[in-house]
Copies of this chain bind each other. A is one copy, B any other.
């Protein structure tokens, strides 16, 4: 006989368990934590969820999240508008921004080609990308999809589809992660690190 939570608690646990990466046990722990908080605290959390949804939307040009008509990357005049970095999602864009290693613009694809999951090119933000390539002074397209099978296929597909005169298409380098260990890195990475070795 399964133990029944009070109905309102049951609904909360079910809602929390539907979040990505939150299992049944974690949902219960979160729910109990929330029940133990001051009411003002849970109201603040609840409000922040709806407020963020209301205030934030994808940048209509690149797909980054913003509360403005265009995102801060797209409107920054100091950024290099001749470079466009293609990423799978906003989380990737933010990682790149945090690394501080890139000063161009982005285009968020919204996923990768994955026939297994029923995602084809038409599910990605390609029309808007092709429009940007026609209208903006893009000289380099940097494929920054993740180094997974789907990410590679997507990069290859896009390179073929978007290649044109005067447009350089590049891919992020593969190799040893900094701080990594030869003993623990996977063979495919080691293989690419070796074949891509550089003179010192």
Proximity bits, A1-20, B CB within 8 Å = 1, else 0:
11111111101100110011
* Residues of chain B with a CB closer than 8 A to A19's CB: 30, 33
Among B5, B37, B39, B51, contact of A12 (Cβ-Cβ < 8 Å): B51
Taking a contact as CB atoms under 8 Å apart, the answer to whether A26 and B15 are in contact is: no
How distant is A101 from chain B, measured CB to nearest CB, in Å? 12
Taking a contact as CB atoms under 8 Å apart, the answer to whether A9 and B52 are in contact is: yes
Among B7, B53, B65, contact of A67 (Cβ-Cβ < 8 Å): B7
Stretch of A91-99, A155-163, A188-196 at the chain-chain interface:
A91-99
Q: Does A66 contact B (CB under 8 A)?
A: yes
Q: Does A56 contact B (CB under 8 A)?
A: yes
Residues of A in contact with B, size category: 35 or more
Taking a contact as CB atoms under 8 Å apart, the answer to whether B48 and A11 are in contact is: yes
Taking a contact as CB atoms under 8 Å apart, the answer to whether A66 and B6 are in contact is: yes
Taking a contact as CB atoms under 8 Å apart, the answer to whether B51 and A11 are in contact is: yes
* Residues of chain B with a CB closer than 8 A to A79's CB: none
* Residues of chain B with a CB closer than 8 A to A51's CB: 8, 11-12
Taking a contact as CB atoms under 8 Å apart, the answer to whether B12 and A65 are in contact is: no
Q: Does A42 contact B (CB under 8 A)?
A: yes
Taking a contact as CB atoms under 8 Å apart, the answer to whether B45 and A49 are in contact is: yes
Rounded to whole angstroms, the CA-CA distance of A3 and B101 in the bound complex is: 12
Among B3, B6, B55, B100, contact of A6 (Cβ-Cβ < 8 Å): B55
**Can you identify 5 A-B contacts, CB atoms within 8 angstroms?**
A2-B98, A3-B97, A6-B56, A35-B52, A42-B50
